[in-house]
Structure 1
Amino acid sequence: MNLPKVLADLVTAQNEFNSVAYANCFSETAEVFDEGKTHSGRKAIEVWIDDSNKKYQSVMEPLSITHDGSTSILSAKCSGKFEGSPLVLQFHFDIEDGLIQRLRVTG
């Protein structure tokens, strides 16, 4: 599968539980919406993913990617310490200038 570089970097960072590298895939003003909450800004995203990594220890296996206008939708099997693991989730990314501007995670 041919992922945009920033998404390949994000998957690698997630699977290595590297919160700093994960957050660096986002712009300074990016937003993440996950589990009913919005996390705004790179530092808040780093705190969110660090907490998530400690809680769920989730790894991603990309399954497919599609594009809908300016949004890339990555379907990935996510495995970790959470009920129902593994789950297939959709990650809706808006990417500009090689960085993620917005991420929305759906089931």
Structure 2
Amino acid sequence: MKLPENIEGLIRAQNERDSTAFANYFTEQATVSDEGSSYSGREEIKQWIQQATEKYNMQLKSLDFKQTGSKGELTVEVTGTFPGSPAVMQYNLEFDGTSISSLKITG
């Protein structure tokens, strides 16, 4: 499956545990919703992904990606040290150009 460069880069940054590179795929005012919490702006997103990766040792594998206009849905298999691993999750995305303005994780 051929992914857009920004989605491929986001997954690569996650799997390489590069929280700075991960956060740089988001706009300055982007929001992330995950496990009942919200994070705003690149710095909070960077801290969130760094803590989650350290806690759960997460790795992502893309299963599907669909995009219509400024909205996208990425289906990933997430493996790590959390109960129920591996888990299939949906990354519901909104884009501002090629940058992510919103990410809601469900699964």
Moved more, 23-32 or 2-11: 2-11
2:28 counterpart SS class: strand
RMSD: 1.0
Residue 77 (structure 1) aligned with residue 77 (structure 2): yes
What is the aligned partner in structure 2 of residue 5 from structure 1? Answer: 5
Moved more, 92-101 or 26-35: 92-101
1:28 counterpart SS class: strand
Cα deviation 1:43-98 (Å, max 9, x = unaligned): 00000001001101110000011234531100011000100000000001111121
Rounded to whole Å, the distance in 1 between the matches of 2:36 and 2:68 is: 23
Rounded to whole Å, the distance in 1 between the matches of 2:38 and 2:69 is: 23
% same residue: 39
What is the aligned partner in structure 2 of residue 103 from structure 1? Answer: 103
1:46 counterpart SS class: helix
Q: When the two structures are superposed, what TM-score results if normalisation uses the length of structure 1?
A: 0.96
Residue 87 (structure 1) aligned with residue 87 (structure 2): yes
Moved more, 4-13 or 59-68: 59-68
**CA offset at residue 2 of structure 1?**
1.9
Q: Which amino acid aligns with 2:49?
A: I
Q: How many pairs align?
A: 107
1:83 counterpart SS class: coil
1:61 counterpart SS class: strand
What is the aligned partner in structure 1 of residue 15 from structure 2? Answer: 15
Where in structure 1 are there 5+ consecutive unaligned residues? none
Extract structure 1 runs of 4+ deviating beyond 3 A.
Answer: none
Where in structure 2 are there 5+ consecutive unaligned residues? none
Residue 29 (structure 1) aligned with residue 29 (structure 2): yes
